[in-house]
Structure 1
């Protein structure tokens, strides 16, 4: 990789020492924080892979500040990354807010030069992944995330948009190539070859990693998924829609961090949700204090996954039936005696194809989180490496089958039942 970092006139990474002076010049932010800037408490809390994240609190309230760095924070300056990703994140958040309201954080200020976004502070929200590791219950989440996916995917697709508006959206997001390249390499390529940044639980999973690098059927399956990711601009995707990109309480859900947004295949976003729920399901064998202690929560995870997909499917179809404003499937073609029946049959077939894509993309997402660079703390926080490897091996085994034999998973219940079966049959890695 080139080590040349992007420079931009006026850009400088912020710090706890400099941020108060910057924010003090933004009236809206000052009104939220209150008091004198010298009294504001600023803490850098970014624990992600790419960016700086600050929490700023004043006497009256708080804000969150996110700033892009010109490199991948997880790796360092040896991996440059363009600051323009903040532009795409701002654009995606704006569109998501228009379509879903308060399912995303409110933007308070955007600075293109500094690649910096000031947003509402989400409190007492926590990252969903951490909540699920602790077996927290989120009764509103299935309804909220299915609404988020249905509305963002449907209304940015050819089913809702005229061709010119759709092509304008493709053009608007086309420049987010560096973030797409990360996905293309880290999800669809590196786990299936020798790559410097790959890592896994070793030596327990050494044999799995070796087999995956020699598995021709799996390489064909992931290559087909990569081709769809590269070429299929179905809708505006969040691009990184996992439980680490969601902050919530039992009563409120917010989807954050859409810097990977682009126009791509809908199944990629849906597959990310499926993957993270399946990973979490398997992970509880490594977190429970006694065997079976989390059986009820495990079943809750799978039940919530089934509700998410079935609700998403129903909501997406309802939007299509009532908002058929796009150039695809024009209603004028489906007039006459059996026109609506034929169109409804095609709607159902469309969702079946979307589910097949979702299954495959979910498998690829699961594999990259175990054999690639960036892992899930659902598994990483399991201290006992043998227990962790057993959870990971189960996830890898299911993921491979979901990719190679996607057609055999006709419903979300099939995925849930396969996860239950593997957990019983695979006693260890």
Structure 2
């Protein structure tokens, strides 16, 4: 199995822009030139992309700055041997437009988009940093939970059958259906490759060799991940971000911006929520590896666990509030739930819906964790732990919890059960001899 797609012809006029070529291009855009100020030859252009797929530039002039993202016709992490359609830039722009409407202020403003060049210019987020980098440093973000739960509740609920008529929902599904190459990456790299021998897989050797082998042989785990994969492929519940992790969020202590929605499509809501919870769990487990002195990061770890709990509770509360006030979709027609008895029954159904969504969240969180340790693309949360054995201990704890969450999901009926299990594993020392 290979996530790679056949090479796609690049559109006429496409070229990779850098330095002087990018300056010249931007200089011909009056609104962008005015925002930057001065003459193009005086603008600074710095390539800062540290992701897996694209080029990202920071362009600054005397009056201001912008961020410019351009898709490459291949996966940047691997190179030209892994071609990838440029159309992902189209879907990212489309998703940013939808998200800006549904969750205003929580995504960067789009200033310009060029379909032919697969290029988007956006507001420059300063002094924001990638959230994952801040978590590695042990920084707490007091605004994060409020913002990310608003983003998820509004983008998910307001694009679902609960909020929009069936015809509008189907049109939305159709608009993103062509983003299947990015979906294929997710389907393989998250739901298949970590459980088989795949050339691009890697892990912290030799310490996790036996663990990786057990995951490849665990048929119970293979059934569980296959069920999650099927749900990912066949449940167009809402417009999901599709890659919502702490590397796709830029933050300050007072503001949160969600970026990089190029994996967006109509899929299961729990995939987005689970991704956030998984990345916070990994930040918690990795924290031990970044300690220089015993318990120096205790306040940070307490904050992370509290953030995990409140991400779910705040999201659920906001989702329910939207359902009570913005239920304009064709699902659960109001005429079937008239009167006090009907209203009470509908409210119980809403709670049941959230309970089922939480179970999806737990499973997808487990899947996202496992892929980041045994698959292709890893997290700096773990990768920046220089002592390999210490890193492997942190990763083994994460894998232990993830496996339990995936195989025994009903034993986590509430979010506090997840954080309690994480705390219990904080002192566990894995035996790497087996």
Q: TM-score, normalised by structure 2?
A: 0.98
Residue of structure 2 in register with 1:283 after alignment: 286
Q: 2:425 aligned to 409, 422, 427, which one?
A: 422
Task: Report matched runs for 1:71-220 at 5 Å.
Answer: 71-220=74-223
**Cα distance per residue 1:251-298 (max 9 Å; x no partner):** 111000000000000000000001000000000111010222212211
Correspondences of 1:221-300 after superposition (within 5 Å): 221-300=224-303
Alpha-carbon distance between aligned partners in 2 of 1:236 and 1:149, rounded to the nearest angstrom: 10
Shift, 1:2, TM fit: 6.2
Task: Provide the aligned length of Structure 1 versus Structure 2.
Answer: 429
Query: What's the counterpart of residue 13 of structure 2?
Result: 10
How far apart, in 2, do the equivalents of 1:6 and 1:306 lie?
46
Cα contact 1:242–1:276 (8 A) shared by 2: yes
Distance 1:417 1:61 in 2: 47
Report SS of the residue matched to 1:310: helix
Describe the shift of the 1:399–1:305 C-alpha distance in structure 2 as closer, same or farther (beyond 3 A). same
Secondary structure of 1:375's counterpart equals coil
SS in 2 for 1:244: coil
Do the aligned partners of 2:396 and 2:430 also contact (CA within 8 Å) in 1? no
Equivalent-residue separation in structure 1 for 2:267 and 2:101 (angstroms): 20
Q: Which residue of 338, 341, 345 maps to 2:344?
A: 341
Tell me which residue corresponds to 1:302: 305
Structural mapping, 1:396-407, within 5 Å: 396-407=399-410
Alpha-carbon distance in structure 1 between the residues aligned to 2:124 and 2:359 = 37
TM-score normalised by structure 1 residue count: 0.99
The aligned counterpart of 2:73 is: 70
**What displacement does 1:337 show?**
3.7
CA RMSD of aligned residues (A): 1.0
Q: Is 345-354 or 296-305 further displaced after alignment?
A: 296-305
Paired residue secondary structure (1:236): strand
For structure 1, the residue ranges without an aligned partner over 5 or more in a row are none
Tell me if structure 1 keeps the 8 A contact 2:66–2:123: yes
Measured after TM superposition, the shift of residue 427 of structure 1 is 5.6
CA contact (8 A) 1:6 1:81 kept: no
The offset of 1:404, in angstroms, is 0.5
Moved >4 Å (runs of 4+):
none
Gapped runs of 5+ residues in structure 2? none
Give CA-to-partner distance per residue, 1:36-75, whole Å, 9 cap, x none: 1110000111110000000000001000000000000000
User: Are residues 1:28 and 2:31 paired?
Assistant: yes
How far apart, in 2, do the equivalents of 1:426 and 1:204 lie?
12
The whole-number CA distance in structure 2 between the counterparts of 1:218 and 1:356 is 16
Alpha-carbon offset, residue 17 of structure 1: 2.4
Alignment counterpart, residue 367 of structure 2, candidates 359, 364, 367? 364
- 1:308 deviates by 1.1
Q: Tell me how far 1:7 sits from its aligned partner.
A: 1.6
Contact 1:3 1:78 in 2 (8 A): no
1:3 shift after superposition: 6.5
Q: SS state of the match for residue 18, structure 1?
A: helix
Contact 1:125-1:249 at 8 Å conserved across structures: yes
